Amino acid sequence: MDTVVVGVDNSDASTRAVEFAVDRAQRNSWKVVLVHVIPWTPYSFQTPTENEHRHREKEREVAAATEQVLVPMAEIAERGGVPHTEMVRHGKPSETLSDIAGDTKAVHIIVGRTGDSGLREAVFGSVASRLVQHAHVPVTVVP
């Protein structure tokens, strides 16, 4: 069974990407890996006090992302009867999705055209753009 990674967030485009992935997974016997990436870099400058609280904050972010983003997306996969797993990671979204695709031996990455960030690009979002340029597997960008 081939694996496909689907980058998810709270956007309508992300919901359409999951629906697209589930439809294709039903036809192709794919396993779907739903991934939400919380943007974060270990190279940000923080005070010692901020560093003390970062671990707890990351745990809270993962719990919130699981409840608010992954649970609704997983319900779409459940309704479609598609085998799936979910994961939340911290990092640079395009790099993290590409790394997870490699780690899971995914044959494909699917993302929505624009995400839920406040910044929108004219043609498609920056994560989708970077994935299209740098991923080592095919990328489908869902409008």
pLDDT, tens digit, 9 for 90 and up, residues 20-34: 999 999 999 999 999
- CA dihedral 46→52→58→59, nearest 10 degrees, is 180
pLDDT, tens digit (0-9, with 9 covering 90-100), for 95-118: 999 999 999 999 999 999 875 544
pTM given for the model: 0.86
Give the list of residues 6+ apart from residue 56 with CB closer than 8 angstroms, or none: none
Q: Residues 111, 141: contact at Cβ < 8 Å? A: yes
Closest CA to 70 of 89, 86, 92: 86
